[in-house]
Amino acid sequence: MSERLSVRKTYKLYIGGAFPRSESGRSYAVTGAKGEFLANASKASRKDLRDAVTAARKAFPGWSSATAYNRGQILYRIAEMLEGRRAQFVSEVAEADGVSGKKAGELVDAAVDRLVWYAGWSDKITSLRGSANPVAGPYFNLSTPEPTGVVGIVAPPMGPLFGLVSVIAPVIVTGNTCVVIASERAPLPSITLAEVLATSDLPGGVVNILTGSAAEMAPWMAGHMDVNGLDLTGADAELAQKCEELAAENLKRVLRPGGKTDWAADPGTARMTAFLETKTVWHPIGI
């Protein structure tokens, strides 16, 4: 009796909570660490990117005004869903990075733990970054951090799951929404992560994931006038400079590459604070 033929997964994009193919109809072959064919991934187009920004913008008012407790619960739920699919991610990470099952397992565990870590930040970062300001007059004066808006992320080429989670979580936990350009080399775990996000009560559009060419898409994202922030962690020096120049047009907040990319180290708060604005509210005190 012959072995059963497996049913393969079609890897598509993740935009606005749905899984469309690229409107361009383009795809590219993704290979494993040893050069073996793994799957055809969608190669997102400029139109896909614009659709993703539209979805992220549409999701922003709801997500940014959700309570911090609610956002924390949802990030924790993502960790739960990721943990539940551990075996699937271990095999995908092992294939993508050519690492042992044991090493891949550690990376998946670390990704889960990272999500749990950020989940807890949702209702604490405001206390750390905000302040009551003792102005010299009869005024109540309070500063609080608020999310920047729609953030474009060029995900790190290495660390297709742990690195990816480490750049998405700090951006969304504070109320931003995002468009992510996944690792071009190893995009498959990002789409499987999208399946996790889609089943974690995360509103559609909060995270949008595109696979394809970073060199092609990142400048479109950097020049998009409805994107407010840009995380260039995954861009090389040349691409990063080009994107930063384009980002100047509407004064996007830019997180340059070269920051800490040892994903195992304590991430600190810098990835969250890069995409926070401080709002200060004054009111007179009187009777």
The answer to whether 65 contacts another protein (rule: CB under 8 A) is yes
Nearer to another protein, 237 or 264 (CB): 237
Write down the least CB distance from residue 56 to another protein, Å: 16
d(CA 284, CA 287): 10
To the nearest 5 percent, what fractions of the chain are helix, strand and coil? 45, 20, 40
| Structural Rg of the chain based on CA atoms | 20
Nearest CB to another protein, comparing residues 1 and 136: 136
In angstroms, what is the minimal distance from the CB of 105 to another protein? 28
The span from the CA of 172 to the CA of 35, in Å, is: 34
Between 65 and 100, CB nearer to another protein: 65
Number of residues that bind another protein (CB under 8 A): 41
Contact 258, 283 (CB under 8 A): no
Compute the distance between CA of residue 154 and CA of residue 152 in angstroms, rounded to an integer.
7
Q: Which of 183, 200, 228, 233 binds another protein (CB under 8 A)?
A: 228
Question: Which residue has tokens 């913008």?
Answer: 57
> Which of 124, 131, 201, 236 is close enough to bind another protein by CB under 8 A?
131
**283 near another protein, judged by CB under 8 A:** yes
* Cβ distance to another protein smaller for residue 5 or 285: 285
Rounded to 5°, the CA angle 92-90-235 comes to 55
Distance CA 24, CA 2 (A): 38
Does residue 236 belong to the site contacting another protein (CB under 8 A)?
A: no
The burial class, CB within 10 Å (0-12 / 13-18 / 19+), for 22 is buried
127 in contact with another protein (CB under 8 A)? no
Q: What is the contact surface with another protein in residues (CB under 8 A)? A: 65, 128, 131, 133-137, 139, 141, 143, 146, 148-149, 228, 237, 240-242, 244-245, 247-251, 253, 256, 258-260, 268, 270, 277-284
